[in-house]
Amino acid sequence: MNLAELHSRFQQGGISKPEYIAAMHQFHAFLYAYADYLSSTDIARIEITDGRVVMETRSHGIRMVCDAKDHRIAPIEILNFGAYEPAESRLLLGILRTLEDQGGMGTAFDVGANYGYYSLLLHKNFPALGIQAFEPLPPTFARLTENLDLNGAASVRANPFGLSDNDGEFPFYFYPEGSGNASAVDLSGLPSVQQLACRVRRMDDFTAASGLSPDFIKCDVEGAELMVFMGGRATLERCRPAVFTEMLRKWSAKFDYHPNEIITLFQGMGYGCFTAKEGRLRPFSTMDDTTIETNFFFLHDQKHRAALEAWSD
């Protein structure tokens, strides 16, 4: 029985007032439990208003609307595990501050923006940075724009399409319990999966039309990362942005390639591949069955020399 059902039962005379108060207190007790629990997490505040729950992070003041069905959005991950990709985030911000000091931070691309956590992380830490967020799933895009408005993130432009190696409308697979796992292939096989028609464009076409030159790219598209980079190869070669990307063997296999193909692609453009270890960059050459890392940095040997010297052992 939920809150509304319990309240209705009392109004209809199905439960006495003392019983009702005691039963309601069991629900209300969770409010105090969260108040005690929050100090062990990066969530500083939970706001409950009519029909909406908003959580605010302690470290960067990022405010995000939570979806009642989604198990894996950033605020819920923080509640569950204390923080959201903390090692990678700290190193990423350090690298980008070094690039900013070198005059190399004007435009960032957030490819696979989801609800906007990384776009908002960049906005909070680099207010002058122009951020392009790409999110092709209509329901997720709606939540993204809601979160951008909630944070007054005028520097972030939300684009209702994804980036890939083709231009057009293609089926994407989405399930409400895990919006972050939406992909151009069905990764979960869950019965709740919905198929949605979504627009994608090539990065090279987008940069040519917009005149934008990215200095940083974050890419997390659930296995289709190689397609994003192949569709943006001319942009990568011309702009030589710093890149932070997810690479998972289990997801890339769904697209019939191995993450090492991404490493080879970037090596051919003068980049090194790195993981985060104890706040520093650790060189990474080849992914195999023993690899446990999922997030990787690609920095150009020449353009990002200052960041490599500052953040490598």
Gyration radius (Cα) of the chain, Å = 22
Task: Provide the CA 194 distance to its chain's centre, in angstroms.
Answer: 21
Beta-carbon count within 10 A of 51 CB: 6
List the structure tokens of 132.
């392009």
Beta-carbon count within 10 A of 291 CB: 14
Mean pLDDT of 303-310: 97
Mean pLDDT of 126-143: 95
**Closest by CA position to 115, among listed 38, 254, 220, 203:** 220
List the structure tokens of 237.
């070669």
At the topology level of CATH, where does 86-311 sit? Rossmann fold (3.40.50)
| Angle (nearest 5°) at CA 253 between 250 and 259 | 85
Task: Provide the CA 301 distance to its chain's centre, in angstroms.
Answer: 26
Q: If pLDDT is split at 50, 70 and 90, which confidence band does 1 have?
A: confident
What is the per-residue pLDDT across 180-211, written as a single tens digit (0 to 9) for each?
566 666 656 667 777 788 999 999 999 999 99
Whole-number Å distance between alpha carbons of 172 and 263: 26
**Residue 245: per-residue pLDDT:** 98
**Residue 179: per-residue pLDDT:** 58
Looking up tokens 């520097």, which residue turns up? 155
**222 contact partners, CB below 8 Å, separation of at least 6:** 112, 180, 181, 182, 183, 187, 246, 251
Give the chain's mean pLDDT: 93
What is the per-residue pLDDT across 218-277, written as a single tens digit (0 to 9) for each?
999 988 999 999 999 999 999 999 999 999 999 899 889 999 999 999 999 999 999 999
Mean pLDDT of 264-291: 96
List the structure tokens of 282.
């650790």
Looking up tokens 């070669």, which residue turns up? 237
User: Residues 15, 18, 20, 23: is their CA dihedral positive or negative?
Assistant: negative
Quote the crossing angle between the two packed helices 117-125 and 86-101, to the nearest 10°. 40
**Exposure of 3 in the CB half-sphere (CA atoms within 13 A):** 7
Q: Spell out the SS3 assignment of 59-125.
A: CCCCEEECCCCCCCCHHHHHHHHCCCCHHHHHHHHHHHHHHHHCCCCCEEEEECCCCCHHHHHHHHH
Q: If pLDDT is split at 50, 70 and 90, which confidence band does 162 have?
A: very high
Beta-carbon count within 10 A of 26 CB: 9
Whole-number Å distance between alpha carbons of 262 and 265: 5
pLDDT of 125 above 60: yes
Domain ranges in the chain are 3-80, 86-311
Residue 16 and residue 24 in contact, taking contact as beta carbons nearer than 8 Å = no
Confidence (pTM)? 0.92
**26 contact partners, CB below 8 Å, separation of at least 6:** none
Of the listed ranges 55-69, 75-89, 167-181, the one predicted with least confidence = 167-181
Quote the crossing angle between the two packed helices 138-150 and 117-125, to the nearest 10°. 30
